[in-house]
Every structure is written in C-alpha cells, then in structure tokens.
Structure 1
Amino acid sequence: MLTQDENEARELAEFLDKQNRERQDVEKQVFATAEEKIAKEFDSNRDAAIVIHERGWHPGVLGIVASRIAHKYHRPAIVIGFDENSVGKGSGRSIEGFNLVQALTRCADKVDKYGGHEMAAGLTIQEKNLDLFAEQFRQTARELLSNKDLQPQLRLDHEISFSELNFDFVGWHEMLQPFGNGNPQPLFLARAVESVAAPRVVGERHLQLRLRQRNYHQRAIFFGAAADALPKQPWDIAFRIRPDEYEGETRLEMRVEAVRESAPTT
C-alpha cells in the first residue's frame, strides 16, 4: 500500500488503524468467552490439552487466542469456530515437547483436513465429529506429555544485576540480532527485586512496573499479567530487554516474562 499522496496515505493509515482496532475487539471478545468455557470445563489435573469451540467465532483471531491460551495454561490448545453450515475452522498452538501435527495425524479420521508444523497448525472439522476429536486429541496429549512437561519452565540464559543494565550492554545484546526460530532472544534473571510503586494497568491486560534492586531502578512491562496475583516480595524476575524510543529519547525497556517469590538468603 504505497502512495505519494499525503491525504490518501492518511486515509489508508486511518483505515488500517480502524481495522486493527476492530480485530482487537473481536479477539478480546473471543478470548473472554474462551476463558469462561475453560473455567467451566478445564481440569488441570485431568486435561493435558485444551479444545474449545463456539459457533460464530471469527477464524481470523483464533490463532492469537489459541496462542494466549497455550501460554497461560501451558497446554496444547485448539480453538475452533463453527459457521452456519456446522463447518469448523480451527487453529492450534502447542508447547515444547508436543508435536502438534503428529498429534493431529492420530486424529486424522475425525477432521476434514489439517496442516502446519510442530508448534502451530490449522484444521477443518465437521461439528458432528467434534466430541470424538476433542476426546482423542486430549487423550493423545495425555499419552505424549508427562506431568513434568505440563509444568511451565523457563530456560534462562544469564543472571544479571540492574547495575549491569546500561546502553553498552544493550549494544552488545543488539549485535545478536536477528532473533527468531533458532536464535531466540536472551532471557535474563534478576534476583531480589522489589516494586517501588503500585503496579499500573496499561492496555487493560498488562502491568507497568517500577522496580528496584539495591540502589538501581528500572521500569518494566509485564504483558498479560493484569488479571494475575503477584507473589510476595522480593521477587526473582525473568525478563528480556530491548531499546525503546519514547518522546525522542532512547531508553532501555524490560519485558518481564515471569515473576516468583525470591528464595530466602542464607
């Protein structure tokens, strides 16, 4: 979408922004309904996978919703939306150690078609086959995943103190780019961190934190944590970093991935 006309460019930008906001609203509605269903149907001691569905769910947001569910509950998740003809389009997201396509292959006689890779997949299914598919998929997950696999784990790359977090360090960090499959962004650990102000909810789902470790302070964002209770302080935090531009000023941004209560010092 290229143009040399400033007015047309503005109109295109406004159109894209409107479309994106509408998509976010749809995603929010689908996720909220999915959470209600999970609260009623999901048993963490019984279920090694999550399969949820609803008539009318927009297929364009199912992948995002499945990703959020898989991350929150640390379970392979399949989210399916059925149309008026009882045909369902679904998206699946997985966790480490569970090959989604191999699992779907075990359920191939219950779906019309499927495809994808180890961590993400899509499928088409008739509503009449849903219950048998969901049962078989959950059973497959239970057979392939151990209880340990179902416990969230983080692989930390390096323990660091706030005193080391400066722009020289960020410069070295950015030399590792580009990040992605095969080259994940480093995940750091900082111990004995305290919050110096009440966490502030931003964007409805996220927490903005002001943190202190000894005499050093940092600002951080904890995505998707607004609805969760934080543990007792002080904390150990797992986080990633990136340079951030704000009002013309470059600063370091911490993106918190997980928080736990610090172990007592001996």
Structure 2
Amino acid sequence: RQSTERQILKEACEMIDTGNLAGDARRAIVLACEKWHAGVIGIVASRIVDRYCRPTVLISLENGQGQGSARSIRHFQMHQALAECSDHLEAFGGHAMAAGLRIRSERIGSFTERFVDLANRTLTCKDLEPSLRLDAEVGLNDLPDALVNELQRLQPFGMGNPKPKFASGMLQLAGEPRVVGKTGQHIQFALSDGRITRKAIAFNQKDSLQPLLDHRRCRVAFEPILDTYNGRTSVKFQVIDMAFPE
C-alpha cells in the first residue's frame, strides 16, 4: 500500500510540475488517472496539499466513471465548493476540509475549469502561503514522560481536536543522523540543548538531511510521542518541520 501511495504521489507531482498546475494562475489542483488506486488517493491528496498548499482533488478512473477524493486548506470550504460544482458531479459528500465525489470522465474537464476558477476567485496569494499552527515554544525539560503521557489521553485527535504541536528553540545535532525507511525517505537523529538529549524522527523529509549536516543546529516543529525500546520508555520528537540558522 505504501509503495502504491509513493508511486501515485510521484506521478501526480510530475503532472503538476510539468504542466505548471500550481502556478499563480491555478489556485487549486485537479488530477485524474485510470491506473490510480481509489483506496489511497485520499492520502496522496493530503500529501499534495501539504506540498503545494492548494485545494486538491484526485480522481481514479475506471470504465468512464471517476471516484475522487478532495482535501482542502484552511481558507477554502471544500464541501461548499463542490456544491457550487454539483451540476458536473454524479454525487459528493464530506465537510470543509475533506470530501469524496463521483464524476463521469467526460465531465472532468468542465468540473476542473469551474473548480479552479472558484478557487482563483476565493483564495488570495497569502492564503496559499504554508502555515503551521503551534501550541507553544518549549524547552526539552518542559516535556517529561508524564506530561506527554497525559497529552496522549486527549485522544482521539481529529479536526476538532488536533494533536498538540510544539516548537523548540535552537538545538544542537547530537551524533550523526541516519536515513531510514525502504527508500531512505525518513531521517532519524537526536537533538540536544547541552543538558538533555531527545531522539527525533522526521518522516518524508530526506531533503532536510544535507542542511542538517551542514548547520548541525536547527529549530523544530514537532509532535511529542512516547517511544518504548528494550523496555524503556522515553519522549521522542516526531518532527513536522525544521528551520536552520540563516
């Protein structure tokens, strides 16, 4: 399933980049393909939103019928947008940030034109700037195991109850980072403030490896998790983003 997801993401990004489908004149993305698996296009749509910061609709086609998954950004109400395009759709449902739809293949062109035009009229350039909402800036000593365990009790997390996210101050790389994962797409490393060291994992951020090695210092946005290894539990950072010294 993960290899299928990676392949669809690769193909979708190639379509976007070669077709300039995420330029200033296109503030939404609609892509369709016959070989895409309908069961994973929702996950891929979320990845594309993260990468291009645009409302995204991915459509899996089979025998002239399309099944689509839509994901949005904070300033674009997806369900309302699909309602305004409903004359091009067989069916749709969802909420402000995510939706599903059915569409006939011959209507995809007209739907895309309407949907992108709606996004162009609704969204400003500022709306398309990536942003990350963080709860607080914390020191390494501010998140002991007991507190992180208490944060886990806030589950289930979701739209109305997002996972707690924090920012660190400038930290020093402790030891050498290493790439992990089947294709080396993740980075595993440790960060220190001179007194405390925390392990960290950055998923799908291999592009940050070289800057991390060059600077050996960074600030991170992260979600704290509890990691158990050899019977010992400790706080670990699941890194969302990194910022390096200028």
Q: Structure 2-normalised TM-score?
A: 0.88
**What residue ranges of structure 1 are gaps of 5+ in the alignment?**
1-22
Contact 2:179-2:206 at 8 Å conserved across structures:
yes
RMSD: 2.0
Match among 182, 193, 211 for residue 213 of structure 1: 193
The 1:73–1:199 alpha-carbon spacing in structure 2 relative to 1, beyond 3 Å, is farther
Could you say which residue in structure 1 is the equivalent of 2:39? 60
- Whole-angstrom CA distance in 1 between matches of 2:177 and 2:31: 32
- Whole-angstrom CA distance in 2 between matches of 1:180 and 1:122: 18
Question: What percent of counterpart residues are identical?
Answer: 38
Larger gyration radius, structure 1 or structure 2: 1
Letter in 1 for 2:49: A
Q: Structure 1-normalised TM-score?
A: 0.82
Contact 1:70-1:95 at 8 Å conserved across structures:
yes
Could you say which residue in structure 2 is the equivalent of 1:169? 147
- Whole-angstrom CA distance in 1 between matches of 2:94 and 2:155: 26
Could you say which residue in structure 2 is the equivalent of 1:69? 48
Contact 2:22-2:52 at 8 Å conserved across structures:
no
Letter in 1 for 2:198: Q
- Whole-angstrom CA distance in 2 between matches of 1:155 and 1:75: 17
**What residue ranges of structure 2 are gaps of 5+ in the alignment?**
none
Contact 1:230-1:259 at 8 Å conserved across structures:
no
Could you say which residue in structure 2 is the equivalent of 1:260? 243
- Whole-angstrom CA distance in 2 between matches of 1:150 and 1:81: 26
Letter in 1 for 2:188: Q
Larger displacement relative to structure 2 (61-70 or 165-174): 165-174
Measured after TM superposition, the shift of residue 262 of structure 1 is 4.3
Could you say which residue in structure 1 is the equivalent of 2:171? 193
Measured after TM superposition, the shift of residue 94 of structure 1 is 0.9
- Whole-angstrom CA distance in 2 between matches of 1:179 and 1:57: 29
- Whole-angstrom CA distance in 2 between matches of 1:80 and 1:153: 26
- Whole-angstrom CA distance in 1 between matches of 2:22 and 2:141: 43
Letter in 1 for 2:234: R
Could you say which residue in structure 1 is the equivalent of 2:11? 33
Which residues in structure 2 correspond to 1:1-266 (within 5 Å)?
23-41=1-19, 42-83=21-62, 85-203=63-181, 204=183, 205-227=185-207, 230=211, 233=215, 234-262=217-245
Measured after TM superposition, the shift of residue 227 of structure 1 is 4.0
Letter in 2 for 1:107: C
The 1:225–1:87 alpha-carbon spacing in structure 2 relative to 1, beyond 3 Å, is same
Contact 2:81-2:118 at 8 Å conserved across structures:
yes
Letter in 2 for 1:80: I
- Whole-angstrom CA distance in 2 between matches of 1:44 and 1:209: 35
Aligned length: 240
Give deviations 1:142-198, integer Å, cap 9, x for gaps. 211121111111122111111333223324433444433322221111111232344
Higher relative contact order (CA 8 A, sep 6+): 2
